[in-house]
Amino acid sequence: MDISVLFSLVLVVAVVYALSQMVRIVPQGEEWVVERLGKYHTTLLPGLHLLIPLIDIVAYKIVTKELIQQTREQEVITKDNAVVIISAVVFYRVTDPGKASYSISNFESAVANMTMTTLRAVIGGMTLNESLSQRDVIKAEVAGKIRDSLSGWGLTLGNLEVQDIRPSQNLQEAMERQAAADREREAAILIADGQKRAAIAEAEGLKESMILAAQGRLEAAKLEAQAKAELADGDRKAMVIVSQGLAGGDVAPHYLLAQRYIDSVKNLSESENAKVVFMPSDWQQSLAGAVGSLGYLGSMLSEKK
């Protein structure tokens, strides 16, 4: 091959390479960091740019779209020595490609590790119940603590979400056993309280029934005493009247006494349960006296007529 042809070919390749290194088109959503002679020179925004070949070099191509960093699940011990498993998702954006390129070697790994460390610190200052019920508080505290660090790396925090937080498997089993024991204890308390209320109600009912029965007996005794008093008063008045009648020679008392005696003997003899009728030893004299009383009554009535 002719030397001139070879030289021309080499020259063409060099020109093409120089042009490719000189003319650069940065796509949308990216920014390129340019070094000149090994030192940071500028940051190329999306569009067409001209560089000095062999002097200007594109050192880093930084994506400026919002990035998503998901942390792995990790076990964290709470303030009351309970173990919880937690993971989070961080949304951030590169706002200063120069800082993101030179202030830290790998900002993606740095964001993940910073988030995990901060989560452990925040959860470690909370109890189990607080960590399980206060996701918004955890998110706000973690975001506030990592925002300054990300800003120093040329990053801007967009959002942080607690993806998952739950007790460990052993803790879940212990919590389930505790919940079952609490439910059994509450059921036993309810049963005992119901039995207590039933016993109290039964005792109160028995007490009221006894009071009502005593009051009934008291009222009955009062009525019986009143009836006996009234009956005795009636007998007393009747006896006074009879005695007055006998003393005055009235025939009515004789008639009443004779009539009652005859009726008593008649009722005694006609009783269905009576097998033997006992008669007083002086029944003949008594009957004669009764008959005599009736005769006396008849003679008195005849005289009055």
pLDDT tens, position by position, 34-87 = 999 889 999 999 999 888 888 888 999 999 999 999 888 888 888 888 888 899
Widest distance between CA atoms in the chain: 200
CB-neighbour burial class of residue 35 (10 A; exposed 0-12, middle 13-18, buried 19+): middle
- CB-CB contact of 76 with 86 (8 Å): yes
- CB-CB contact of 78 with 126 (8 Å): yes
Average pLDDT, the chain: 79
Around 3, how many Cα atoms within 13 Å sit in the side-chain half-sphere? 0
How far apart, in whole angstroms, are the C-alpha atoms of residue 305 and residue 302? 5
pTM: 0.54
Report the DSSP beta bridge partners of residue 26: 47
Pairing between β-strand 30-36 and β-strand 39-44 as defined by DSSP bridges: antiparallel
- CB-CB contact of 106 with 152 (8 Å): no
Query: Over the stretch 259-305, which tens digit does the pLDDT of each residue have?
Result: 666 666 666 666 565 555 555 545 455 555 555 554 554 455 455 44
